[in-house]
Amino acid sequence: MSDRVIGVIGGSGLYAIDALEGATWTTLTTPWGDPSDAILVGELEGTKMAFLPRHGRGHVHAPSDVPYRANIDALKQLGVTDILSVSACGSFRDEMAPGDFVLCDQMIDRTRGRTSSFFSSGCVAHVSLAHPTCDRLRSAALGAAQGLGITVHNGGTYLAMEGPQFSTLAESRMYREVWAADVIGMTNMPEAKLAREAEICYLTVAMVTDYDSWHPDHGEVDINQLLATLGANVAHGAALVAAMPAALNGPREACPQGCDSALQFAIMTAPEKRDPALVAKLQTVAGRVLG
Ligand SMILES: CSC[C@H]1O[C@H](OP(=O)(O)O)[C@H](O)[C@@H]1O
Ligand SMILES: Nc1ncnc2[nH]cnc12
């Protein structure tokens, strides 16, 4: 068994991965509350994999209420080193058409009121988020997606909005024309921030379901059409996940980009000034540097 553990956070439409061998739904608790659901833990080609449905089976949690901290803590408890976030999204680009995949390398966070850090007063930390997703994971996913014949775009900016309503036409135009976002969804922030704080490599695999509301030929988001496209996309998403162990083959080396050492010099609060209760809560995600 390799020391790499692949975590998959399944978004809308992706609630299980059938290909996992010897898989069992495992219930975990965390100091940040319960994760979205039990986690399906199994193995594929000698690599341990852990699958967590972001909204829970049956789509219980709204984007604003997903327990993002608990989800990342629970995956870290399972030893997850690399997370693929398989997420539905709208597109701001003609060429990123419904059915296509976009492997995102940048993000804009427009969410409001979500707790976006494990750290706070009593244990303050500042990690870099200049490159919020992992390039090594992106290269591997690119090769795997191309091998499966998926139309895939290498790079793109994901705008995370609060939701649950879709954007107004004015917002959609602004995100596209002024902010140069490529795709839009409601969930990958603060997820990506928390994964970085937990020193887990993270990649957004955005599955395009619609053109949001800016496109003159497509009108506004039609949820029935979106769900139909999602149904087709999800099979590709599951196939991509199943191809990842082979794509990441070989022993896991330290992340060249430093995702897995993000906390090395990040904690600012002097050891004697740290809040013991908060430090105890941080053991899973930051125990490596907190001791
Ligand atoms: C079903 S459309 C809106 C919904 O889908 C996306 O969820 P996820 O990112 O978990 O795939 C989007 O962010 C919204 O939550
Ligand atoms: N247009 C859109 N906006 C936000 N989230 C989405 N998820 C799928 N399509 C979306």
| CA 54 to mean position of chain CA atoms | 9
Cβ(49)–Cβ(238) below 8 Å: no
DSSP reduced 3-state for 3: coil
Q: What is the mean pLDDT of the chain?
A: 97
Residue ranges in the chain assigned as alpha helix (H)? 68-77, 135-147, 169-173, 188-197, 223-247, 276-281, 283-290
Question: For 169, phi and psi rounded to 5 degrees?
Answer: -60, -40
Q: What pTM was estimated for this model as a whole?
A: 0.97
Q: Is residue 213 within 8 Å of residue 192, measured between CB atoms?
A: no
CA of 208 to the centre of ligand 1 (A): 11
Q: What is the pLDDT of residue 187?
A: 98
Provide the pLDDT for residue 232: 85
Residue 1's closest CA among 48, 40, 51? Answer: 48
29 pLDDT above the threshold of 70: yes
Stretch 130-148: mean pLDDT, rounded?
A: 98
- Burial tier of 176 (Cβ tally within 10 Å: 0-12, 13-18, 19+): buried
Token pair, residue 158, equals 């994901």
Strand partners, 183: 91, 158
The atom of ligand 1 lying closest to the CA of 186 is: 13
**Ligand 1 surroundings by CB, under 6 angstroms:** 11-12, 54-55, 63, 87-88, 163, 185-187, 226
Smallest Cα–Cα separation from 141: which of 188, 208, 68, 86? 86
| Alpha-carbon torsion angle 271, 274, 278, 281, nearest 10 | 10
Residue in 82, 109, 182, 210 annotated catalytic: 210
Question: Does 59 carry a binding-site annotation?
Answer: no
pLDDT at 1: 47
**Residues β-bridged to residue 195:** none
Determine the Cα–Cα distance for residues 85 and 80; give it in Å rounded to an integer: 13
Quick: pLDDT tens for 223-258: 999 999 999 889 999 999 999 999 998 899 999 999
Cβ atoms of 77 and 30 closer than 8 Å: yes
Tell me, yes or no, if 210 is annotated catalytic.
yes
Determine the angle formed by the axes of helices 68-77 and 188-197, rounding to 10 degrees.
Answer: 40
CA of 111 to the centre of ligand 2 (A): 14
Answer whether the bond into residue 98 is a cis peptide, omega within 30°. Answer: no
Is 87 annotated as ligand-binding?
yes
The predicted-structure confidence for 183-211, as pLDDT tens digits, reads as follows 999 999 999 999 999 999 999 999 999 99
Residue 7 has pLDDT above 50, yes or no: yes
For residue 185, the ligand 2 atom closest to its alpha carbon is 5
Give the tens place of pLDDT for each residue, 92-107: 999 999 999 999 999 9
Residue with CA closest to ligand 2 atom 5: 185
Distance CA 166, CA 145 (A): 28
Q: Give residue 241's pLDDT.
A: 97
Question: Ligand 2 pocket: which of 165, 175, 186 to mutate (most atoms <8 Å of CB)?
Answer: 186
Mean pLDDT of 163-175: 98
Q: Above 70 in pLDDT, residue 2?
A: no
Cα 81 to middle of ligand 1, angstroms: 24
The rounded distance, in Å, linking the Cα atoms of 287 and 197 is 12
ipTM for this model: 0.99
Check the CA dihedral 264-268-270-275 and report its sign.
negative
Indicate if 37 belongs to the active site.
Answer: no
